[in-house]
Each structure stands twice: as C-alpha cells, then as structure tokens.
Amino acid sequence: MTNIPVDKKKTYCLSAVAITGALLTGCATETPKAPPMTDRTTAYVEYVRADMRQDKVVMINQAMKLDQNDPNYNAFWHEYYPYEAELKKLNDERLALIRDYQYNLNNMTDDTANNLAKRAIAIREKKLELLKEYYKKIKKATSPIIAAKFLQVEYEIGLLLDLEIASNMPLLKKSPQE
C-alpha cells in the first residue's frame, strides 16, 4: 500500500462541490413544512397557549405553596418567568414539529420520518438543558428544596401535556398502504 499525498485544498473543494450537488439535486432532503396558519388560527392558538400558561402559573403557585410573605416568593418568580419565556420558544418549535408531522403523515418517507425524529429529540434535549439551567438558577435564588420541587411540578405538568398531545397524534404507518 502506498501513501498518496493529499492536496487538502482540492479535497475541500471536492467536498464543497459534492455537498452543493447533493443540495441542488435533492439528495439532502428537508422535511416539507406545513403551510402557514391563517391569521385567525394563529390568533386562536396564541390565545389558547396564553390561557394555558396562566393556568400553569396558578398550578405551580398552588403546588409550590409560596405566598407573598415567604422570603423566597419573589426570588422564585423572578427566575420562573424568564424560564417560561424560554420554554415558550421551545414550545413554538414543538408546535411547528407537530404541524409538520401532521402535514406529512399520509406521505411519510424514511427521510422525512428521520428528520422529524431528529427534531423531536433535539427539542427534548433543549428542554432538558433549559431545566438544568433554571434548576441551578432557582436553587441559587431560593433553596435546593424549592428548586427540586419546581422540577417535580414542571415534570408532572409536562407529562400531562405530553399525554394530551400523544393521545391526539396518530402513529406512523409502516407503509402508505397501511
């Protein structure tokens, strides 16, 4: 076996040409996106989501049992609201993923299913990172017990939401004929 010297500049150029060619010919596929929601639908979805966030704050407040006389009350909510704002962004991604899934359900390809699965995993990973970040912040601002309780409550609410979504989502079919 003989070592052949490799010109890195040519290798990079060939790689760039191959990637560009794949993109132009459709070899590198992206999930077809669901069409945009109408203004009316968007307004309704935002209204329902805002209402759910308000209900969630009430549930968290009841579960955490922090009242305004508690020295940790303000510190907890000072950290919670930025968390909720970041979570809303992740939930925006999740909503787009669900819409794309529903849009592609009857014409699902292996590439589309793979792309959707990767997006779903990435959203879960981002949520876990967000929880880790805010656990630390809440723990520092209040106490480890309050921060751990926040995680418990957030996890339970998340499970309820996941169950509601999953119960309304059809499973993938093995083939278009199924």
Q: Is 41 a domain residue?
A: yes
Q: Is 64 a domain residue?
A: yes
Beta-carbon contacts of 134 under 8 Å, excluding residues fewer than 6 positions away, are 79, 80, 82, 83, 86, 150
The pair of structure tokens assigned to 144 is 């480890």
Q: Is 7 a domain residue?
A: no
Q: What whole-number distance in Å separates Cα of residue 148 and Cα of residue 104?
A: 39
Q: Is 78 a domain residue?
A: yes
Q: What whole-number distance in Å separates Cα of residue 73 and Cα of residue 21?
A: 57
Q: At what angle do helices 39-64 and 144-167 cross, to 10 degrees?
A: 140
Q: Is 98 a domain residue?
A: yes
- Rg (the chain; Cα; Å): 23
Q: For the segment 68-121, what is each residue's pLDDT rounded down to a tens digit? A: 999 999 999 999 999 999 999 999 999 999 999 999 999 999 999 999 999 999
Counting every residue written for the chain, the total comes to 178
The pair of structure tokens assigned to 119 is 């997006």
Q: For the segment 119-151, what is each residue's pLDDT rounded down to a tens digit? A: 999 999 999 999 999 999 999 999 999 999 999
Number of structural domains found in the chain: 1
CB 141 within 8 Å of CB 82: no
Q: Is 28 a domain residue?
A: no
* Predicted TM-score (pTM) of this structure: 0.76
Q: For the segment 3-41, what is each residue's pLDDT rounded down to a tens digit? A: 444 454 444 443 443 443 333 334 445 788 888 878 888
pLDDT of residue 175: 63
pLDDT of residue 29: 57
Domain that includes residue 159, residue range = 34-167
Q: Is 4 a domain residue?
A: no
Mean of pLDDT values over 158-165: 93
Q: What whole-number distance in Å separates Cα of residue 78 and Cα of residue 98?
A: 31
Q: What whole-number distance in Å separates Cα of residue 104 and Cα of residue 145?
A: 44
The distance of Cα 85 from the centroid of its chain, to the nearest Å, equals 13
